[in-house]
């Protein structure tokens, strides 16, 4: 499993208590590796979307999808085609800027990455940045030179390109 690459699986689930538990429990029990998991609303109030990034080879990924599909509360599930996918992640980064010079250096970097400064205090800045995980990794690395006080990343959410959608049971 460690030899595989990162893949994104999108599951449409019933929006009710306990569903996230049964999904995360499945990953633990079957020894699948979760890199990131995000849960949120969909266009349908009764359904939520769980976006899971897993590192897996072909055979393991096949099992991930089939085992998820078997859960009664999972209404639809598919791997999103890595060649036709939009993935986004959001991060909030709080950094140390004890001087005006450092503050302006930091803001320059933020502009290059198209981030946004969302909070300023005499010796800190909070930046919001959105993009692919690679872009956020690069930005976070850069911010380390200033000193990161706190960091929060949402994990990946994703949809496939074009009109195609995850098939759901009626």
Partner 1 sequence: MNGAKALIESLERQKVDVIFGILGGALLPIYDALCDNTKIRHILSRHEQGAAHAAEGYARASGRAGVCMATSGPGATNLVTGIANAYMDSSPIIALTGQVPSKGVNTSYMIGRDAFQEADIIGITTPITKQNYQVRNASEIPKIVNTAFYIATTGRPGPVLIDLPKNVQAETADMEFTNKIDARGYNVITDPDLAQISRAVELLTKAEEPIILAGGGVITSNASDELMQISDLLMAPVATTFMGKGAFPEVHPMSIGSIGMHGNPAANRLISEADVLLAVGTRFSDRATANTDTFCPNAKKIHIDVDAAEIGKNIDVDVPIVGDAKKSLRILHATLLKNLQKKKGTAWTKRVKETKEKLSPLIKDMPKDLVPKTLLSELRKLLPEDAIVTTEVGQNQMWAALYFQALKPRTFISSGGLGTMGFGFPAALGAKVACPNRAVVDIAGDGSFRMTEQELASSVEEKIPVTVIVLNNSVLGMVAQWQRALYNKRYMAVNLGKSPDFVKLAEAYGARGFRVGSVAEFQKAVKAALKSEVTTVIDVPIGSEEDVVPFVPPGCGLPQQRGDY
Binding site for partner 1 (CB under 8 A): 13-14, 18, 21-22, 25-26, 29, 59, 62-63, 66-67, 69-76, 169-170
* Residue 17 CB, nearest approach to partner 1 (Å): 8
Q: How many CB atoms neighbour CB 121 within 10 A?
A: 9
Residue (46 or 122) nearer to partner 1, CB? 46
CA gap 25, 106 in Å, rounded:
41
* Residue 43 CB, nearest approach to partner 1 (Å): 16
Check: CB of residue 126 under 8 Å from CB of residue 151.
no
Residue (21 or 101) nearer to partner 1, CB? 21
Half-sphere exposure of 101 (CA within 13 A, CB side): 0
CA gap 107, 124 in Å, rounded:
11
CA gap 166, 75 in Å, rounded:
10
* Residue 149 CB, nearest approach to partner 1 (Å): 35
Residue (18 or 82) nearer to partner 1, CB? 18
Residue (26 or 117) nearer to partner 1, CB? 26
């Amino acid at each position: 499993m460690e030899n595989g690459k990162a893949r994104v699986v999108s599951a449409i689930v019933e929006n009710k208590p306990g569903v996230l538990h049964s999904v995360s429990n499945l990953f633990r029990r079957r020894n699948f590796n979760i890199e990131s998991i995000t849960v949120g609303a969909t266009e349908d109030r009764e359904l939520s979307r769980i976006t899971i990034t897993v590192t897996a080879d072909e055979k393991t990924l096949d099992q991930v999808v089939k085992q998820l599909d078997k859960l009664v509360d999972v209404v639809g599930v598919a791997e999103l085609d890595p060649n036709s996918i939009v993935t986004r992640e959001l991060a909030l980064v709080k950094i140390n800027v004890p001087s005006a010079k450092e503050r302006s250096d930091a803001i320059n970097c933020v502009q290059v990455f198209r981030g946004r400064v969302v909070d300023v205090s005499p010796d800190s800045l909070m930046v919001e940045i959105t993009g692919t995980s690679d872009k956020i990794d690069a930005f976070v690395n850069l911010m380390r030179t200033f000193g990161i006080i706190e960091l929060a990343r949402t994990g990946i959410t994703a949809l496939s390109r074009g009109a195609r959608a995850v098939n759901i049971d009626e």
